[in-house]
């Protein structure tokens, strides 16, 4: 079947597809493109004008110039090998030329797509580092990475996923640094995806994850090109998805979510100190409310006498047990945090701060909650913001409610059992073959230079030599 006939059958319901037929004796061709989707001046100059000019030779010579020697049009173009490739290119915004009697089509990259300019990173801010962030255009994102990696070892593989969305996905890695097993695993999983649409990088993150029951993320999503470039140099794989500014890095360990781009743009002892505080407050945000509930409910003798009297007097008028009080404050804090994210940026932070002050003070004055519980919840919420990556923050917020429940039932014993179960789960978890607690468990001395702290760059340079 001719490509023109095949396309007319498939596109008869698409009113936004423009077709223009040109006849020059026995040479008949049809140009397809999306209305308002291509540069018409480029189409007129580089395609229509050469086709309308008289050709001195035979039609066979003209076909040879177009399909084989590719010297007929004064622009770059690609010859498709199948009707599906031609349709895919057309729906991606390219101009398609079909010649009567031929099953091959010619695609011209004359897309005219609206896109926003490269701007500052909104969710992963940096003081001394670069301010650029990814955008929704995948080719712009690839260009931002190439600006930081001028190496011939950078490999880029293309995939089209989604029978209806036809989403372009790119897999990037460094030849010689990334393990072949990791490359084949991720490549096989991408090729095995069968779906109608890909809504974003979060869809692929779930599709590639083999343990969805785990609350811990196993792929790192980021909007920073410098973080992707650094991960590629470390032997990881990056996955770019068309239509989203958040792209994926694999494998990802617990250490990956504790690292910030700012760590590599400050002096090493400042970065090491801040990273230590990050681990400390990660633990504080996870266990502090549970420990408070367990101690005040089951083990008040562990508190100093003066502190115990102060807490008891503040809770004297509170009608609820400590666990109910904790859940009231935690849910209220989550409510204000979600509301602050949904409200426009200009007034979101103001409303969150004012709401927290007013509601917290009113709740203490009314005797619904005690002042120590308000302090505990506020300190816990602030500690959770120290974690650099939002996906790990969600995990901490979820596990905090679980630990609160077991602590209210079994005291410090329940809290200890909950922490042990979390550690056991982390030890059993891996990300595409890499242990989740690496390089701590199993211990890898050569990788400790960028684990709990960061070694000076001079150590790194001597190591590479």
pLDDT 10s digits, 355-400:
666 777 788 888 888 889 888 988 898 888 888 888 899 999 999 9
pLDDT of 465 over the 50 cut: no
* DSSP letter for each residue of 150-177: --TTEEEEEEEE-TTT-EEEEEEEETTT
Higher pLDDT, 348 or 275: 275
Total residues belonging to the chain: 465
Measured in whole angstroms, how far is the alpha carbon of residue 203 from the centre of its chain? 10
What is the CB-side half-sphere exposure of residue 34 using CA atoms within 13 A? Answer: 18
Number of H helices, E strands in the chain: 17, 12
pLDDT attached to residue 412 = 94
Please say if the pLDDT value at position 32 is more than 60. yes
More confident residue, 198 or 447: 198
Higher pLDDT, 311 or 459: 311
Percent of the chain residues topping a pLDDT of 70: 94
CA-closest candidate to residue 401, choices 317, 310, 327: 327
Can you give the pTM of this predicted structure? 0.83
Arithmetic mean of pLDDT over the chain: 87
Confidence category of residue 351, pLDDT binned at 50, 70, 90: low
CA distance linking residue 465 with residue 460, whole number of Å: 9
**What are all long-range contacts of 67-72, with beta carbons under 8 Å and residues at least 24 apart?**
67/102, 67/104, 67/106
Tell whether the model's pLDDT for residue 256 goes beyond 80.
yes
69-78, 112-121, 150-159: which range is least confident on average? 112-121
DSSP-assigned states of every residue in 244-272: -S-EEEES--HHHHH--GGGGTS-HHHHH
| Mean pLDDT of the region 174-203 | 91
In the structure, what pLDDT confidence band is assigned to residue 36 with cuts at 50, 70 and 90?
confident
Strand partners, 248: 221, 239
Average pLDDT over residues 285-311: 91
Distance from C-alpha of 220 to C-alpha of 255, rounded to nearest angstrom: 11
Contacts of 23 (CB under 8 A, 6+ apart): none
Q: What is the pLDDT of residues 94-145, one digit of tens each?
A: 999 998 888 888 999 888 776 778 888 878 888 888 888 999 889 899 999 9
Q: Distance between CA 181 and CA 178 in Å, rounded?
A: 9
- pLDDT of 171 reads 95
Burial code (b: 16+ CB inside 10 Å, e: under 16) for 350-360 equals eebeeebeebb
What pLDDT score does 463 carry? Answer: 52
| Position 425 confidence tier, pLDDT thresholds 50, 70, 90 | very high
């Amino acid at each position: 079947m001719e490509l023109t006939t095949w396309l007319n059958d498939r596109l008869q319901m698409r009113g936004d597809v423009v077709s223009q037929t040109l006849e020059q004796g026995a040479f008949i061709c049809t140009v397809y493109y999306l209305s308002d989707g291509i540069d018409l001046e480029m189409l007129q100059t580089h395609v229509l004008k050469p086709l309308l000019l008289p050709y001195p030779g035979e039609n066979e010579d003209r076909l040879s110039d177009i399909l084989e020697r590719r010297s007929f049009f004064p622009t770059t173009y690609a010859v498709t090998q199948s009707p599906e490739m031609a349709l895919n290119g057309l729906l991606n915004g390219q101009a398609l030329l079909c010649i009567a009697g031929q099953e091959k089509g010619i695609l011209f990259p004359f897309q005219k797509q609206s896109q926003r300019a490269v701007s500052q990173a909104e969710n992963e801010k940096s003081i001394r580092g670069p301010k650029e962030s990814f955008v929704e255009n995948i080719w712009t994102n690839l260009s931002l990475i190439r600006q930081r990696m001028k190496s011939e070892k950078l490999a880029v593989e293309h995939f089209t996923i989604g029978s209806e969305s036809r989403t372009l996905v790119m897999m990037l890695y460094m030849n010689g640094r990334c393990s072949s097993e990791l490359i084949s695993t991720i490549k096989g999983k991408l090729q095995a995806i069968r779906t109608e649409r890909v809504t974003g990088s979060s869809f692929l993150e779930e599709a590639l994850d083999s343990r969805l029951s785990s609350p811990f993320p196993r792929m790192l999503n980021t909007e920073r090109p410098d973080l992707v470039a650094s991960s590629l140099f470390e032997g990881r794989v990056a996955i770019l998805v068309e239509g989203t500014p958040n792209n994926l890095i694999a494998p990802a360990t617990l250490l990956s979510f504790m690292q910030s781009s700012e760590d590599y743009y400050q002096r090493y002892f400042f970065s090491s100190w801040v990273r230590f505080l990050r681990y400390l407050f990660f633990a504080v945000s996870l266990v502090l409310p549970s420990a408070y509930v367990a101690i005040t409910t089951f083990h008040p003798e562990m508190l100093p006498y003066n502190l115990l009297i102060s807490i008891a007097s503040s809770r004297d008028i509170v009608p609820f047990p400590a666990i109910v009080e904790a859940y009231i404050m935690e849910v209220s804090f989550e409510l204000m945090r979600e509301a602050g994210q949904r409200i426009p940026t200009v007034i979101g932070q103001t409303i969150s701060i004012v709401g927290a002050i007013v509601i917290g003070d009113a709740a203490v004055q009314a005797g619904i909650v005690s002042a120590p519980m308000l302090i505990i919840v506020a300190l816990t919420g602030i500690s959770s913001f120290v974690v650099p990556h939002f996906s790990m923050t969600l995990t901490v917020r979820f596990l905090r409610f679980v630990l609160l429940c077991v602590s209210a039932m079994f005291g410090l014993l329940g809290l200890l059992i909950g922490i042990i179960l979390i550690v056991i789960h982390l030890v059993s978890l891996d990300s595409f073959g890499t242990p989740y607690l690496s390089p701590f468990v199993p211990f890898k001395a050569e990788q400790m230079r960028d684990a709990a702290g960061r070694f000076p760059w001079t150590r790194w340079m001597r190591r590479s030599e």
